[in-house]
Amino acid sequence: MTTFVSYSAFDKDKVERLIDDLRAHGVDVWFDQDDLLVGDDLEAKIEVAIMAAKKIIICVSKSFNEKPPTSWVKVELSIAHQRETTEGKNYIVPVRLDRGATIPDEIAKRVYADISSQEKWKMNLPRLVKALKATSPP
Picking from 65, 132, 44, the residue whose alpha carbon sits closest to that of residue 92 is 132
* Average pLDDT of the chain to the nearest whole number: 90
Q: Looking at 16, 76, 84, 87, which residue is catalytic?
A: 76
Q: Is the pTM of this model over 0.85?
A: yes
Q: Please report, rounded to a whole number, the percentage of residues in the chain having pLDDT higher than 70.
A: 93
CA dist 125 to 31, 40, 87, 113, 117, Å?
18, 32, 28, 7, 11
The rounded distance, in Å, linking the Cα atoms of 3 and 31 is 9
Class of domain 2-133: alpha beta
Please tell me the predicted confidence (pLDDT) of residue 93.
96
Name the residue type at position 33: Q
Q: Is-catalytic flag, 76?
A: yes
Picking from 20, 34, 39, the residue whose alpha carbon sits closest to that of residue 129 is 20
pLDDT-derived band at 134 (thresholds 50, 70, 90) equals: confident
pLDDT-derived band at 92 (thresholds 50, 70, 90) equals: very high
Name the residue type at position 82: Q
- Say what angle helices 12-24 and 118-133 make with each other, to 10 degrees: 50
